Amino acid sequence: MTTYIVATLLFAAGPPCGPLDLDTALGLAASRSDEVAIKQADVVTAQADEAMARALRIVPQATATVLTGPAPEARGDFLKPETIVGTNRSLYGIRPFVRVEIQALQPIYTWGRLDAASEAAQAGLEARELLVQDTTSQVQLRVVQTWWGVALAKRFLAIAGDVRGALAQAAQHVKEAMANGDEDVSPADRYRVDLARGVVEGRAAEAQKGLDLAQVALAAMLGTDPARLALQEAPLDPPAAAVPDRAAALDAAERQRPDLRALGDAIRARDAEVKAERAANKPQFFLGAQFVYSYAPNRDIQLNPWVSDWFNTLSLGALIGFRQDLALPMMSARAQKAQAERDALAQQREGLARLVQVQVDTGLAELRAAQARHVAAQAALGSGKALFRSTGLDFAAGLIDAKSLIDAYTQYVESQVAAAQAAYDLYVARAKLAQVTGEAPRKGVQCELP
């Protein structure tokens, strides 16, 4: 999992980005998203916690102290008072001394407490890694929506351009017919054409606004300036694909959804925490060791086993002991709290599992509807094109009036808009279903944005 995150999320400088395709945009969003970076920071924190849990196994308590300072002179043997030089209150013959103290404590049996702490930290790390993947999937879904939103807005502008040309020809025909005194053409026809041109211009303005906003949003997700964002042209032409089986989609979501798996790891971490808190109620066995050495050159070394001199010491020892925390009510309450938090996470996972089922069913329904609308829109588009051409020819031949022409134009435009919108909805529905079933984020191609 760590390897996947490093490969997917850490941005490495690559060749300069040319016009971006969708895969490259997805890869850049995953590596440059602030949301993903925040989750990745949580992973780094969890890695530190996991390292600390592992470190508890090997000498978790160890200190080394070095002291130096002045020491008063002391000569002789206390068994021979006549040889003693000076007193314990004299500052005579002060010389420097040095003292080294090393103490260490190594747990040897903790009733599984250290194992549980390590397991909890590891499960917590895996949960945070899965949350990075979940956030990446959500960011990439928004990139897909915005990417195809740009393509949809460009398609709307192209449709508006086509209609502008057709209406310009119609306006010219009306003008010429009126100049020639054609009784089948009236000023009302000119007004109808002008009205239609105004409607088209308004819709074109809305499409341009949608394009500008989509490019701003996409640039923000990619961490670049909108003026520097160059995208490849992407035709709204989704390939045919079957709708996944419901049972297979639900099974995939249960196995793959990173948020579900993260909650499972969180429950595993809480289980280990409960185990650790219960083990803390029992005696903790340990091995202790100590080394002390001090030396003062102006003091005689005392070798009598019942007499020691703090300034001249050499000792080394080890022991086995146990420590029992007697705050049993408090430790019992901690274990109960950990168990309650674990049970709350279990309930949360059950609720999320039901929500995932609803999301999968909703995604499948939206995908089926999007595919049906796309098929119907494609069929209507063919009829709209035929109607548009035949009506234009009839109007040019003087067989119909401007109102019939504008009605045909309107239906043609609506068929084109419906086809483009249906294609966009199909792309987005497929991306949503992929996200709710837990498909892994796409890595894309690494490159360097200007």
Residue 2 in any domain: the answer is no
- 192: tokens are 């109808």
Residue 445 in any domain: the answer is no
Show the domain range for 185. 22-59+110-282+324-437
CA distance 435 to 69: 69
User: The tokens 């190594």 sit on which residue?
Assistant: 106
Of 193, 197, 202, 200, give the one whose Cα is nearest residue 171. Answer: 193
**In terms of domains, do 315 and 331 share one?**
no
**In terms of domains, do 191 and 312 share one?**
no
**In terms of domains, do 194 and 227 share one?**
yes
**If you average pLDDT over every residue of the chain, what do you get?**
85
**In terms of domains, do 230 and 319 share one?**
no
CATH classification at residue 46: 1.20.1600.10
Q: What is the pTM of this model?
A: 0.79
Give how far Cα 153 sits from Cα of 111, 187, 208, 352, 425, Å.
65, 34, 7, 36, 13
**In terms of domains, do 243 and 309 share one?**
no
**In terms of domains, do 290 and 222 share one?**
no
Residue 15 in any domain: the answer is no
Residue 173 in any domain: the answer is yes
CA distance 350 to 276: 25
Q: Would you state the torsion angle of the CA atoms of residues 119, 124, 130, 136, taken in this order, to the nearest 10 degrees?
A: -150
3-state percent helix, strand, coil for the chain, nearest multiple of 5: 65, 15, 20
Highest mean pLDDT pick, 175-179, 222-226, 376-380: 376-380
**In terms of domains, do 237 and 171 share one?**
yes
Look at residue 11 in the predicted model and tell me its pLDDT.
37
| C-alpha neighbours within 13 Å on the C-beta side of residue 122 | 8
Condensed to tens digits (0 to 9), the pLDDT of residues 323-356 reads 998 988 998 999 999 999 999 999 999 999 999 9
Mean pLDDT in residue range 7-23? 61
Name the more confident of 88 and 28. 28
Highest mean pLDDT pick, 189-193, 204-208, 260-264: 260-264
**In terms of domains, do 34 and 128 share one?**
yes
- Residue 329, SS3 per DSSP: helix
Q: What phi and psi, each to the nearest 5 degrees, are found at residue 111?
A: 60, 35
| Close Cβ partners of 235 (under 8 Å, ≥ 6 residues apart) | 151
**In terms of domains, do 153 and 243 share one?**
yes
Residue 196 in any domain: the answer is yes
Look at residue 34 in the predicted model and tell me its pLDDT.
86
Condensed to tens digits (0 to 9), the pLDDT of residues 78-117 reads 666 555 555 555 667 788 999 999 999 999 999 999 999 9
Look at residue 3 in the predicted model and tell me its pLDDT.
42
Q: Categorize the per-residue pLDDT at 180 as very low, low, confident or very high, splitting at 50, 70 and 90.
A: confident
Residue 248 in any domain: the answer is yes
**In terms of domains, do 42 and 90 share one?**
no
CA distance 401 to 192: 10
pLDDT at 57 over 50: yes
pLDDT at 404 over 60: yes
Domain tally, the chain: 2
| C-alpha neighbours within 13 Å on the C-beta side of residue 337 | 7
Look at residue 87 in the predicted model and tell me its pLDDT.
59
Condensed to tens digits (0 to 9), the pLDDT of residues 58-84 reads 888 899 999 999 988 877 666 665 555
CA distance 267 to 287: 33
pLDDT at 255 over 50: yes
Mean pLDDT in residue range 105-133? 93
Look at residue 226 in the predicted model and tell me its pLDDT.
83
| Close Cβ partners of 298 (under 8 Å, ≥ 6 residues apart) | 71, 72, 73, 74, 75, 93, 94, 95
The answer to whether 402 and 322 have CB atoms below 8 angstroms apart is no
Residue 240 in any domain: the answer is yes
State which of 302, 323, 344 marks the end of a domain: 323
Look at residue 301 in the predicted model and tell me its pLDDT.
84
95-109: strand order across its sheet: 61-71, 95-109, 284-295, 313-323
CA distance 57 to 289: 16
